[in-house]
């Protein structure tokens, strides 16, 4: 079972920490308690912890709200078999929300591709407001507001 954990805003990780990455192929409209409803992307990430531990996370990214929701399994220090069970449960959970998931095949990616994913996917940012698309949108709004202010000041 996966539960919402408000302490998490992102899952910054190194290439070596990532065991698996699954991404959604679609962006269904979801309503998450305490969050603005809207279209979302889903990510299921398996991360290696210290001393051979592993955990599975479900990360839902709400682009319109520049927000996220991170769900965790109740188990943290899991065996390989328990890890596979948790990964399957996580995929079933997001699919029950309407997401169609695809295995990104992290281990088969070239290191350069992995680095690119770490720099662009919202799941790997410390905070969803730091995602490049969100930053670009904020800058665009600022420029529009400045331009409009100058235009109105001219009158």
The per-residue pLDDT for range 132-154, each reduced to its tens digit, is 754 444 455 444 444 445 544 55
123-150: burial string, b at 16+ Cβ within 10 Å, e else: bbbeebeebeebeeeeeeeeeeeeeeee
Average pLDDT score over residue span 105-117 = 95
The pTM is what? 0.82
Taking alpha carbons only, the member of 13, 28, 153, 2 closest to residue 100 is: 28
Percent of the chain with pLDDT over 90: 59
SS in 3 state form for 24-62? Answer: ECCCCEECCCCCCCEECEEEEEEEECHHHCEEEEEEEEE
Helix intervals (H) in the chain: 80-96, 111-120, 132-153
What is the length of the chain? 155
Confidence of residue 93 (pLDDT cuts 50, 70, 90): very high
The per-residue pLDDT for range 5-54, each reduced to its tens digit, is 999 999 999 999 999 999 999 999 999 988 999 999 999 999 987 777 78
* pLDDT value, residue 155: 54
* pLDDT value, residue 128: 85
């Amino acid at each position: 079972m996966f539960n919402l954990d408000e302490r998490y805003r992102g899952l910054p990780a190194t290439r070596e920490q990532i065991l698996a990455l699954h991404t959604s192929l679609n962006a269904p409209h979801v309503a998450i308690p305490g969050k603005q409803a809207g279209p979302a992307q889903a990510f299921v990430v398996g991360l290696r912890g210290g001393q051979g531990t592993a955990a599975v996370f479900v990360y839902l990214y709400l682009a319109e709200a520049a927000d996220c929701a991170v769900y965790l399994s109740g188990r943290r220090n899991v065996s390989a078999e328990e890890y596979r069970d948790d990964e399957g449960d996580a995929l079933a959970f997001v699919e029950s929300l309407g997401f169609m998931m695809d295995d990104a095949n992290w281990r088969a990616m070239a290191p350069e591709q992995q680095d690119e994913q770490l720099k662009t996917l919202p799941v790997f940012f410390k905070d969803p407001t730091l995602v490049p698309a969100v930053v670009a949108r904020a800058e665009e709004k600022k420029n529009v507001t400045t331009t409009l202010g100058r235009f109105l000041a001219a009158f």
